[in-house]
Amino acid sequence: MKHSFKYYKITYTLILSNSIIYLLTALLSKNLIDIDVDTLVKMGAIFGPYTVIDAQWWRLGTAMFLHGGMTHLLMNMVSLYLIGRGFEEYFDTKSYITIYIFSGILGSLVSLYIHPESVGVGASGAIFGVFGGLAGFFLAHRDHIQEHTKSFMKDFTIIIGINLVIGLSIPSVDMSAHIGGLVVGLMGGYVISKNLKLIWMYALAMIILMIVLMRYLPKQYAQIFF
């Protein structure tokens, strides 16, 4: 696999962006290893009362670039480095960004539904979307892929399994965002792999789903908090 920036510009740009934002967050938090919750909320973490009740939906985007600590950041960036480069081998720039963003945002919306009072940050939902998108590609081409690609798919399945096990074993990890991102990415990867022109149909479907959830959540929160 190639290593040059020009071959994997999206993956490396995302890693660099997340790292720079983490350093800024650490500076504001005055702690390089663990970021305090107040700083994360001020920087744009998802938090039910603010995101849903106060309609601060912009947090769905900012939370994707925030991390709660150095371990959190490293785990996510290593995962993105490993899977993101493979993703760029099979998908173009538009498809990568589309799947990444929708997976991250919809993963966060699922998290808000499951955990209305929790503070959520991290690129995990988007990264699991990349995992899912690559799985969708192999699923779409399962009858035509070569033997070595089938072997890679088995290894890929193992990686997904390990990440899910780790997520289930660590209480602070939000598995709802992971699963939400994974499903959104899987759908995108499959549809786009079948026909690149269908990317607009996929994007429209995801936007409609976002709107539905953003209209439903305030009603759910009203029952919880009022």
- Active site members: 124, 178
Q: Rounded to a whole number, what is the largest CA-CA distance in the chain?
A: 57
Q: Supply the angle between the helices 9-29 and 70-90 in degrees, to the nearest 10.
A: 170
DSSP one-letter string for 18-75:
HHHHHHHHHHHHT-SSB--HHHHHHHT-EEHIIIIIT--TTHHHHGGG--SBHHHHHH
DSSP 70-99: HHHHHHHHHHHHHHHHHHHHHS-HHHHHHH
**151, amino acid identity:** S
The residue whose two tokens read 């001020």 is 42
Burial of 50 (C-beta count, 10 Å sphere; 0-12/13-18/19+): middle
Of 220, 210, 205, 13, the residue nearest 107 (C-alpha): 210
